[in-house]
Structure 1
Amino acid sequence: MAMTGILRPGHAQLRVLDLEQATRFYRDIMGLVETGRDGQGRVYFKCWDEHDHSSLILRQADGAGIDFIGFKVLNASTLDQLDKDIQAFGLKTERVPAGDLLETGERVRFVLPTGHVMELYAEKTQIGNGLPAVNPAPWAPDADRGMAPVRFDHCLLYGPNVMANKVLFMEVLGFHLVERILGPAEAGEPEIGLFFSCSHKTHDIAFVEYPEPGKLHHLSFRMPTWERVLRAGDIMGMNKVPIDIGPTRHGVTRGETIYAWDPSGNRFETFAGGYEPYPDSRTITWTFEGFPHGLDFPQGKLHDSFLTVVT
């Protein structure tokens, strides 16, 4: 599939309550690679098999949550065109200058109808994955430190007006709707959960209807296999990381998963599996009655904390 327009999730900036505690967690327990610190005190990380400089940025704050989510686009002309298209849709955009984030070019920032800050960028310095470009080994030394995810995979965000997000993501940003969750029949079966992809992943970003704007449900880190998800669970147990759900398998996306919380209360996911849809694949629908198996397929259970705890 030709990759044009928006390519992939690029980075997310999280608010944490204790920066050094969070740094130790994401570096030593999660196993991310620390790549820098800036004049604002932010700490930058990437997963071992990512080539770009950073995919996770931590910022000290009084409350946990997400500041913004960034997606990488094909090139500068694509960035300019998307800026115009977003403005034509009716959203105000802001140009954030190159260098505001370490090793990152100019960004186009805007606020989604759900209240989340999203940004697009075309340039980020590539620092590699620790392997040569000629005759590389299958993994680098950092691949066995901590849980060692291979990439920042996706995020799930909670907020109001998800249907306005649907129009923006499909008609302006070029995403396709892979799966959706319907509300109860007595409410007219509204779409309350939407899973979008700009690639051939089951989701690069997802939204659930929620009364408060701008909320984070989780950031997801890709594990190469189900076995590595289970190994991550062992590491969580050894380090007394509080687990929300799992290990289990979703019906939605068919993903294999564990959800847990970082020291600040931000939920994260270790994720593997899924399937590979294309833009012309039909959208899969989960009814309100069927969603318990969509969340936790083996148990068919709705977990209260999963549905209510956000940052």
Structure 2
Amino acid sequence: MTGVLRPGHAQLRVLNIDEAARFYRDVMGLVETGRDAQGRVYLKCWDEHDHNSLILREADHAGIDFIGFKVLNEATLDQLERDVRAFGLETERLPAGELLETGERVRFRLPTGHLFEIYAQKAQVGNGLPNVNPPPWAPDADRGMAPTRLDHCLLYGPNVTANKKLFVDVLGFHLVERILGPAEAGEPEIGLFLSCSHKTHDIAFVEYPEPGKLHHLSFRMPTWERVLRAGDIMGMNKVPIDIGPTRHGVTRGETIYAWDPSGNRFETFAGGYEPYPDSRTITWTFDGFPHGLDFPQGKLHESFLTVVT
């Protein structure tokens, strides 16, 4: 793998920092790795090696501040910054240490209004397992829902077609699946599932009139059974569920969607297939998308389509 490697971190706005930290640490099962002078809380999934993948910031309204992806090295970071500028977007360099244990970041605003950043360096704190003769899981692997990593995000905003051009032509992603709009509207692409790896998606975008909106952050579960276990934990802790347990047609993923205490939607996700850059893009028509969303029921859930932060 070269270029852009994977989702690295997301900063969420939450309404009560202590309540949110308790939720993501004790119910979700993430590992708290630090707090900074701004009052932000840093967490990671148990099987992630880098210092953080989720940052919480207290604010008066929920949503996402920015999403960051890790790139191969500093030379890649410099080249991609030049390429993004050539594409026509302004960039900003954030100094090393502005996020705990994280190197310089290059930030720019996507056509959909989201702040997106890339970086090459983040301190590795490990996953609690030794590097010689390790067992298959660490003690934190059974605390709470215990996802293994931050898997992807779905963002809502206008002009997703321009996002596709940026991610494919400049950042090196490939379009794995897409959703078309209704025929009477000319069937424009209204949903894009993009990958920089061989996952079904590392980031996705859906056309929406308001810029910069978060639909969900997704956390990887190792098996369908662990998704169902996460559902049990949601029930035990009275976590409000949006959809699931069910399977998507899009990506073939197995899923439950729910809301954190601030109203940010999150997903526990397993399964999916493994596309490669030469795989053909899968297309979902507007009339076929109900099964793309919820394959068993073939249902368009209104909350899924309308509730964002």
Looking at structure 2, the residues matched to 178 and 33 of structure 1 have their Cα atoms a distance apart, in angstroms, of: 31
Distance in 1 between residues matched to 2:223 and 2:18, nearest whole Å: 30
What is the SS of the residue equivalent to 1:201? coil
Residue in structure 1 matching 2:131, options 130, 133, 139: 133
Q: CA deviation at 1:82?
A: 0.2
Question: 2:72 aligns to what?
Answer: 74
Which residue of the partner structure matches residue 265 of structure 1?
263
1:264 partner SS: coil
2:157 to 149, 159, 167: 159
- Matched with 2:220 is 222
Deviation digits for residues 248-288 of structure 1 (CA, Å, limit 9, x no counterpart): 00000000000000000000000000000000000000000
Equivalent in the alignment of 1:108: 106
Amino acid corresponding to residue 192 of structure 1 in structure 2: I
CA distance in 2, matches of 1:138, 1:169: 35
List structure 1 segments (4+ residues) > 2 angstroms apart after TM superposition: none
Secondary structure of the corresponding residue to residue 95 of structure 1: strand
AA paired with 2:22?
A: R
What is the alpha-carbon distance in structure 2 between the residues aligned to residue 111 and residue 17 of structure 1?
Answer: 24
Secondary structure at the aligned position of 2:258 is classed as strand
Q: CA deviation at 1:208?
A: 0.1
Tell me if 1:148 matches 2:143: no
CA deviation after TM superposition for structure 1 residue 129, in Å: 0.1
1:294 Cα deviation after fit: 0.1
- Match of 2:150, as an amino acid? F
For residues 22-48 of structure 1, the C-alpha deviation after alignment (integer angstroms, 9 at most, x for no partner) is 000000000000000000000000000
Q: Match of 2:169?
A: 171
Taking the aligned partners of 1:279 and 1:68, their CA distance within structure 2 comes to 26
Measure how far apart 1:72 and its partner are: 0.1
- C-alpha distance in structure 2 between counterparts of 1:307 and 1:53, whole Å: 33
Name the SS for the 1:163 alignment partner: helix
Where do residues 50-69 of structure 1 align in structure 2 (5 Å cutoff)?
A: 50-69=48-67
Give the drift of 1:177. Answer: 0.0
**Separation of aligned partners in 1, 2:181 and 2:38:** 42
2: CA distance, partners of 1:135 / 1:286: 45
Whole-angstrom distance in 2 between the partners of 1:210 and 1:289: 19
Structure 2 unaligned runs (5+)? none
Deviation at 1:173, TM superposition (A): 0.4
1:281 aligns with 2:297: no
The aligned counterpart of 1:32 is 30
TM-score where L is the length of structure 2: 1.00
Q: Provide the rounded CA distance (Å) in 1 between the counterparts of 2:46 and 2:55.
A: 15
- Partners of 1:131 and 1:199 lie apart in 2 by 25
Aligned residue pair count: 309
TM superposition shift of 1:115: 0.1
Give the corresponding residue for 2:184: 186
Q: Secondary structure at the match of 2:194?
A: strand
- The answer as to 2:204 corresponding to 1:206 is yes
* AA partner of residue 99 (structure 2): L
The one-letter code of the counterpart of 1:296 is D
Q: Give the percent of matched residue pairs that are identical in Structure 1 and Structure 2.
A: 87
Give, in whole Å, the separation in 2 of the partners of 1:39 and 1:80.
29
**What value does the CA root-mean-square deviation take over the aligned residues?**
0.2
Distance 1:56 1:142 in 2: 16
Question: TM-score of the superposition, structure 1-length normalised?
Answer: 0.99
